[in-house]
Structure 1
Amino acid sequence: MRTTTAPETVADLIARQWGEHRPGLMYEDDAERHVLTRHRTAQEAAARAALLVDLMPPGAEPHLGVLLDNTPEFPFWLGAAALAGAAVAGINPTRRGPELARDILHTDCRILVTERAHLPLLRGLDLPGVRILVTGTEEYEALLAPYAAAKPGEAALRTPGPDSRLLLYFTSGSTGAPKAAICSQGRLAAAGAALARQFTVTPDDVHYICMPLFHGNAVIADWLPALVGGAPVALRRRFSASAFLDDVRAYGATYFTYVGRAIQYLLATEPRPDDRSHPLRLGFGTEAGAVDAARFAERFGVRLVEGYGATEGGASVQRTPDTPPGALGRAGAGDDLAVIDPATGAECPPAVLDPDGRLLNGSAAIGELVNRGRSLFEGYWRNPGAEADRTRDGWYWTGDLFFRDEAGYLYFAGRTDDRLRVDSENLAAAVIENILARWEGAAAVAVYAVPDEVAGDQVMAALALREGAAFDPAAFAAFLSLQQDLGTKMAPRYVRVVTAMPTTATNKIHRVSLRREGFHCDDPVWHRTPAGCYRPLDEAALAALLATYEAQGRSGLLRRPGTPPARNDRPGAGDAGDAEAASGT
């Protein structure tokens, strides 16, 4: 470990780079790779901090929006905000129109830093009082030039301290307007130091940042521990599964982070004889799933560590060496975590697991993870209603489903929005997904609810197939019959075979779009008969199904053909083979 004391602020971390001429930042521009020293990165941050002080209108909230891909300008402006006592709102480039304008204006950004590639997103938007800086232009370089000699600590809007706001990071917003979580410099610096200790980060490491910097994962779990440990970071403009190993080898990367389905995209690439020839030692992230984590380790020889810690900071789960497979760990220091049934407020009973770790009492054991003790949650920007909901009854409600075994280890079971109720039994989508992921033909799996014809929900699954695989309904039904932990209500009533899984900007499967379409889609859909066989949902079968909904007065719950999804529910681009455009909690 490079440092022995935890920094109080991120500004401290930036300033400590001054005078250090070891590599600090690596990136590719016009097919040419560049290396900047740690001193140079601090110098660039200091120049932008001084510019920020002069450009920010008097009396304005010290907030700037950053609408950039993973270019060097993004960490420069993160560092600048830290030094200036300002806050960065990471703006998601997959948002569009009024929703994009809303994100910028909601966070009171008076300055927006963007690049030429994203200017079309801003055309026609009403952004009163927002000054737009376009990186890479002559005007931008002319603005920066007078501040080239600035040093850390010379200019600030507010003196940076542990309580200073640094990030206003949006939640995913898949079920409504995104909430901007407040992250202070002290909490972020402490989180970076904790991860640097946990993973023994040293200057000999290289942190590969391929997840988007507008998302908390890349900043908190990748950029910050590198700053603490003195490791350089290597930037990938947008995540690319096909270029992943080439980048890792070129940069000498030893560590990376992931979210959502990034691991599935990597596993879906064509295997190569040199898949294990690289310097990577560790991947850290969320939602890879036990099956894919094992496949990744077997193919690439890299251990994946699953972690849990919301950007909001309200709860964390700490992995220990004795954590069993599939579990995330136990409660973090000072936390009092419990799995609660939201309907009753009572703690759920412990999970019953078979010798293979398969959950046998999911309906009773799965509940919402709640922190009944100390919480580091710092609130949402200008959203008291969301804050109150998150902290109701004096507890911090994570919005995530978990179950807990007899020894106290916690297992992730999905989002509360991903709970299904089938024949009066509560099910968690993530649990069913983990089972379906064992099917050898699946490259990616998404499970979600569609309305039952009479009451409650039915299980629908979207499957993206591995290259060369085909959906064999008899083989799939036979596979399901052999899964001992697949409860009687869990088998999918409907199976949609997709060529490309819709994803959000953070590589998470976009379930909102899948739920909205249901079985009204252009992809082939199969439905399960009472005998357990899968048959095509052809025109005759669909007509009969819709007639049943009509007879039960539930047809209004279905989206009709030709009705487009709401604008902010449109998925980002991406597919199981390469998520070039899907890059992006």
Structure 2
Amino acid sequence: METARPKSDSPASELSERANEQGDKVCVLFEEQRITYAQLNERINRVAAGLLGLGVKPGEGVAIMMPNRPEWLYVFFATQKLGTCAVPVNIALKGEGLAYLLNHSEARSIVIAWDLLESLAAIRASLAVAIRVIVDTTEAPPGYRLPAGAVTLDALMKAATAPVATPPVATAEPAVEIDPQAPAVMMYTSGTTGLPKAVVMRYRALSGPMLDFGAFYRDDDVLYTCLPLFHANALFLTATRALVSGRTLALSRRFSASRFWDEIRRYGATTFNALGAMIPILLKQPPRPDDADNPIRLVISAATPAWAWEQFEKRFNLVIWEGYGAVDGGGFSLLNLGTSPKGSMGKPPPGTEARVVDDQDKEVAAGEVGELVFKVDDPEARRVEYLKNQKSSDAKVRNGWFHTGDLAWRDPDGNFYFADRKTDSMRRRGENISSYEVEKIVNQHPAVLECGAFGVPSDLGEDDVMIAVIFKPGQSTTPQELARFCSERMASFMVPRYIDLRESLPKTETHRIQKAQLKQQGITPTTWDRDKNALVDATH
């Protein structure tokens, strides 16, 4: 008997179709688990039936606060089959940050890992509405006791299991009419410079081009991600891409530079997406004889520094393609599929116009830094919707152009290059300074693993440049030597005045350095000040 199909052209309905077409194919690899399309779809349907049994209704928000594991996918795709709104939650959130997100999203249910319940318990009294609590007890210790009023995800799924029959009867697809205008997902920004904003993604936006992922991949590709599923990159660009297209997803718990290539080989992964500092950090790991002996053929990256690009390709025997886009980017993109110089984000696809403009929205000359903007072809389709924030939503489009909030420059051939996030740029003695450019140079020092550059108030007005630095294990150098290294490689106005040597850097779960925290901490008693030390520097 053929199961009923969802009444929506969406990732969830496409996944159901893959289960009908190739149910025996393994679609998720997670440690020792090998999950087929039929098994995945069955478990998703069990969660969906269980949520319906609890009274969850279409249009409601269902928060998901769990680490990377298959259960995360079961819950997410179940919400999409029910016409509810998934609210992915950063597992590091606690206190006011967690209370803000749950209240702001108005989620009525939360599926949460057992070891994160303490964070929820601490803010339950500050929640504006009562919230159903479903606990994922995967890996809970023996004898674990469930909090009063909560139910387990496992019990939810078992209650929805069809009666034993011969042959087995699969749990039915939910008979729910999906409203294409309803919110499907609320993706919260990292909030590195203020309260996070929720980008509302409606069901209509998760169909059509959203499902057209075949151009980058081969049919037998295995897509690997170690990024958190609460982030759009892992959820949409890797997990959804793999599962709606009939390919295999290799899922890791988290990014570990020391274990990265062992996991790649274990799963036979052939491609992955890289964010932030992943490429430089992997490149700075101690060389191994088998570095080039791995199954990866293609890396799709964001902001790979030009200095690291060719080194990474040669050392690990692969190809890097670069892409630019954002969850609140209106669907606009830039692509460098080996068609632009290394270090470039590439060009916009055919039919899309991009420019670099100044603060008056006037286009700047090639080589000059300004804000990256895109010509708006369809105002309704390109509109970014921030939940309960009309002002920010309206500000994205001005004078017919979509404003990204990112700084870039273009070369005479029309290739675009990332310069900085507009909120991270600095200004010193009349000169604009890109934190990205400062970091790119400092990170080339052989002892440096990673750094964050940011501005601190200057006695002379504007900013002084400060860097917070962490070293590779077993290596170090002095602030004086770092300053000398910078002086030899960057313009004098860019050379950091302040250098702070640290054990770690504050980061989001998606490996972005939290500049707001660094700026708030500012100059500390351990900070080295170049102006107060005898550094022979002819350029200063």
Same fold, TM-score > 0.5, yes or no: yes
* Match in the other structure for 1:518: 522
* Match in the other structure for 1:106: 104
Which shifted more, 104-113 or 383-392? 383-392
**Is this contact kept in 1: 2:109–2:132, CA < 8 A?**
yes
CA deviation profile, 1:337-366 (whole Å, cap 9, x unmatched)? 221212x22122210xxxxxxxxxxxxx11
**Is this contact kept in 1: 2:250–2:267, CA < 8 A?**
yes
Which shifted more, 454-463 or 437-446? 437-446
SS of 1:403's partner is strand
Pick from 485, 489, 505: which aligns with 1:501?
A: 505
CA deviation profile, 1:344-391 (whole Å, cap 9, x unmatched)? 22122210xxxxxxxxxxxxx111112232363341122212212223
Q: What is the distance in 1 between the residues matched to 2:329 and 2:53? A: 32
* Match in the other structure for 2:18: 17
CA deviation profile, 1:428-475 (whole Å, cap 9, x unmatched)? 211222233333332212211111112111111222223343224564
Say whether residues 1:140 and 2:160 are aligned partners: no
Pick from 370, 375, 386: which aligns with 2:392?
A: 386
Q: In the TM superposition, what are the counterparts of 1:22-41 in structure 2 within 5 Å?
A: 22-28=25-31, 33-41=32-40
Say whether residues 1:166 and 2:162 are aligned partners: no
CA deviation profile, 1:89-111 (whole Å, cap 9, x unmatched)? 11011121121011112112111
- Once the 2 structures are TM-superposed, how far is the Cα of residue 288 of structure 1 from its aligned partner? 3.4
* Match in the other structure for 1:55: 54
Amino acid across the alignment from 2:50: L
- Once the 2 structures are TM-superposed, how far is the Cα of residue 511 of structure 1 from its aligned partner? 1.3
Q: What is the distance in 2 between the residues matched to 1:233 and 1:424? A: 49
SS of 1:18's partner is helix
Indicate how the Cα distance of structure 1 residues 299 and 63 shifts in structure 2: closer, same or farther if over 3 A, else same. Answer: same
Indicate how the Cα distance of structure 1 residues 41 and 174 shifts in structure 2: closer, same or farther if over 3 A, else same. Answer: same
Indicate how the Cα distance of structure 1 residues 461 and 195 shifts in structure 2: closer, same or farther if over 3 A, else same. Answer: farther
Indicate how the Cα distance of structure 1 residues 297 and 467 shifts in structure 2: closer, same or farther if over 3 A, else same. Answer: farther
Indicate how the Cα distance of structure 1 residues 521 and 37 shifts in structure 2: closer, same or farther if over 3 A, else same. Answer: farther
* Match in the other structure for 1:125: 123
- Once the 2 structures are TM-superposed, how far is the Cα of residue 320 of structure 1 from its aligned partner? 4.1
Q: What is the distance in 2 between the residues matched to 1:160 and 1:230? A: 26
Pick from 304, 309, 325: which aligns with 2:342?
A: 325
**Is this contact kept in 2: 1:217–1:258, CA < 8 A?**
no
SS of 1:11's partner is helix
Unaligned runs of 5+ in 2: 1-7, 139-150, 163-169
SS of 1:17's partner is helix
* Match in the other structure for 2:45: 46
- Once the 2 structures are TM-superposed, how far is the Cα of residue 290 of structure 1 from its aligned partner? 2.3
* Match in the other structure for 1:82: 80
SS of 2:78's partner is helix
* Match in the other structure for 1:438: 444
**Is this contact kept in 1: 2:51–2:156, CA < 8 A?**
no
**Is this contact kept in 1: 2:408–2:417, CA < 8 A?**
yes
Q: What is the distance in 2 between the residues matched to 1:178 and 1:273? A: 44
- Once the 2 structures are TM-superposed, how far is the Cα of residue 531 of structure 1 from its aligned partner? 8.0
Unaligned runs of 5+ in 1: 1-6, 352-364, 535-585
- Once the 2 structures are TM-superposed, how far is the Cα of residue 526 of structure 1 from its aligned partner? 4.3
Which shifted more, 322-331 or 494-503? 494-503
CA deviation profile, 1:29-52 (whole Å, cap 9, x unmatched)? xxxx11010111111112222223
* Match in the other structure for 2:198: 180
CA deviation profile, 1:50-103 (whole Å, cap 9, x unmatched)? 223333455x73221000101111111221122222221110111211210111
Q: What is the distance in 2 between the residues matched to 1:15 and 1:232? A: 15
Q: What is the distance in 2 between the residues matched to 1:460 and 1:180? A: 31
* Match in the other structure for 1:487: 491
Say whether residues 1:155 and 2:170 are aligned partners: no
* Match in the other structure for 1:465: 471
Pick from 407, 411, 432: which aligns with 2:413?
A: 407
SS of 1:479's partner is helix
SS of 2:494's partner is coil
* Match in the other structure for 1:453: 459
* Match in the other structure for 2:293: 277
**Is this contact kept in 1: 2:47–2:156, CA < 8 A?**
no
**Is this contact kept in 1: 2:19–2:41, CA < 8 A?**
yes
Q: In the TM superposition, what are the counterparts of 1:172-321 in structure 2 within 5 Å?
A: 172-190=190-208, 193-197=211-215, 199-202=216-219, 204-314=220-330, 315-321=332-338
Aligned structure 1 segments of 4 or more residues deviating by more than 6 angstroms: none
Q: What is the distance in 2 between the residues matched to 1:327 and 1:99? A: 36
Q: What is the distance in 1 between the residues matched to 2:255 and 2:518? A: 23
**Is this contact kept in 2: 1:257–1:284, CA < 8 A?**
yes
Q: What is the distance in 2 between the residues matched to 1:248 and 1:136? A: 28
CA deviation profile, 1:131-158 (whole Å, cap 9, x unmatched)? 01001378432322232246564332x4
SS of 1:430's partner is helix
SS of 1:256's partner is strand
Amino acid across the alignment from 2:110: L
Q: In the TM superposition, what are the counterparts of 1:335-350 in structure 2 within 5 Å?
A: 335-342=352-359, 344-350=360-366
- Structure with the greater relative contact order (CA < 8 A, sep ≥ 6): 1 or 2? 1
Pick from 370, 373, 376: which aligns with 2:376?
A: 373
Over the aligned positions, Cα root-mean-square deviation in angstroms equals 2.5
Amino acid across the alignment from 1:95: L
Indicate how the Cα distance of structure 1 residues 96 and 426 shifts in structure 2: closer, same or farther if over 3 A, else same. Answer: same
SS of 1:292's partner is helix
**Is this contact kept in 2: 1:312–1:377, CA < 8 A?**
no
Q: Could you tell me the TM-score, scaled by structure 2's length?
A: 0.86
- Once the 2 structures are TM-superposed, how far is the Cα of residue 236 of structure 1 from its aligned partner? 1.3
Q: What is the distance in 1 between the residues matched to 2:35 and 2:361? A: 53
- Once the 2 structures are TM-superposed, how far is the Cα of residue 164 of structure 1 from its aligned partner? 4.7
**Is this contact kept in 1: 2:59–2:83, CA < 8 A?**
no
**Is this contact kept in 1: 2:18–2:244, CA < 8 A?**
no
* Match in the other structure for 2:427: 421
SS of 1:110's partner is strand
Indicate how the Cα distance of structure 1 residues 279 and 189 shifts in structure 2: closer, same or farther if over 3 A, else same. Answer: farther
Q: What is the distance in 1 between the residues matched to 2:533 and 2:258? A: 42
- Once the 2 structures are TM-superposed, how far is the Cα of residue 481 of structure 1 from its aligned partner? 4.3
SS of 2:403's partner is strand
Q: What is the distance in 1 between the residues matched to 2:529 and 2:27? A: 52
Identity of aligned residues (%): 30
Amino acid across the alignment from 2:336: R
Q: What is the distance in 2 between the residues matched to 1:195 and 1:61? A: 27
- Once the 2 structures are TM-superposed, how far is the Cα of residue 170 of structure 1 from its aligned partner? 0.7
- Once the 2 structures are TM-superposed, how far is the Cα of residue 118 of structure 1 from its aligned partner? 1.0
**Is this contact kept in 2: 1:209–1:257, CA < 8 A?**
yes
**Is this contact kept in 2: 1:492–1:528, CA < 8 A?**
no
Amino acid across the alignment from 2:372: L
SS of 1:444's partner is strand
**Is this contact kept in 1: 2:447–2:476, CA < 8 A?**
yes
Q: What is the distance in 1 between the residues matched to 2:86 and 2:397? A: 25
* Match in the other structure for 1:541: none
- Once the 2 structures are TM-superposed, how far is the Cα of residue 424 of structure 1 from its aligned partner? 1.4
